[in-house]
Amino acid sequence: MSVDELSAAAGLTVRTTRYYASLGLIPPPERRGRMAWYGEEHLARLEMVRALQGHGFSLQSIEGYLSSLPPGSRIEDLAVRRAMLASWTASGPQDLSRRQLDEHAGRRLSDEDLALIEEIGMLRRTDTDRGPRYTPAHGFDVTMRLLDLDIPVEGVRGAALAISRHMGALAEELTDVLRADVLVPLRSQRLSRDEAERVEQTLAALRELTLEAIVTSFQRSANEVITRSLSRR
């Protein structure tokens, strides 16, 4: 592929692709005279970069991760790794100014609002040369709806921290299961490109089913708590 074709396949502009190449995020192209040619490995690396960016990693962090990969990593192995890194949400992280954050929230946020939203993990602030920048977490919109309800702030804080604590532990345990029981066995096999793509599709479907299972499990558990409470009464 030419750099134009590579960029189109990765969903990037040519300028961005060249910038990533200058950072060493993809290996040098094959030179034939004055032309530079790129292959499937370059595309797999760019797709990995986009997957990591979807989790909010900086380019510096991504560079460190890619440099830690075993030399000669096969395209299929990169595809499996990328499938593991794929975001559980459709949209990537946002980088907003204070004015843009207020527009995103639909109202002017007070300093107290910002402090609370940061405390419960729904907002990350980064101080830059351009001033403070804000990255809303997935769930920010739900937090805004909670703040609009006529309930004490302590109730919002307590509920949010409880959800964060238990979901963090659940996500870590499920990731360990996925890694040990699914990905490790797969990496021991010599997957073809088609097989690696099927693994990506399988993991994408598994993410959807897991989210549905979590909601269903919570509903069942909540009903059991209510039933026990009524029985005690």
Q: Which residue, 2, 32, 30, 31, is CA-closest to 17?
A: 2
What pLDDT shows up at residue 165? 85
Range of the domain at 13: 1-72
Does a structural domain hold residue 54? yes
Contact 196, 76 (CB under 8 A): yes
Does a structural domain hold residue 152? no
Please, what's the b/e burial string for 97-122 (b: 16 or more CB within 10 A of its CB; e: otherwise)? Answer: eeeebeeebeeebeeebbebbeebbb
Residues 214, 209: Cα–Cα separation, whole Å: 9
Does a structural domain hold residue 67? yes
Decide: pTM greater than 0.85. no
Instruction: Please write the tens of the pLDDT for every residue from 114-156.
Output: 998 988 888 888 888 888 899 888 778 888 888 888 888 888 8
Contact 63, 24 (CB under 8 A): yes
Residues 132, 95: Cα–Cα separation, whole Å: 10
Number of domains within the chain? 1
Instruction: Please write the tens of the pLDDT for every residue from 58-109.
Output: 788 888 888 877 766 666 667 667 666 665 665 556 788 999 999 988 889 9
Does a structural domain hold residue 210? no
Q: Which residue has the tokens 């060249």?
A: 18
Q: What is the CATH number of the domain that holds 65?
A: 1.10.1660.10
Does a structural domain hold residue 94? no
Does a structural domain hold residue 145? no
Token pair of 6 as six digits: 């590579």
Token pair of 87 as six digits: 């975001």
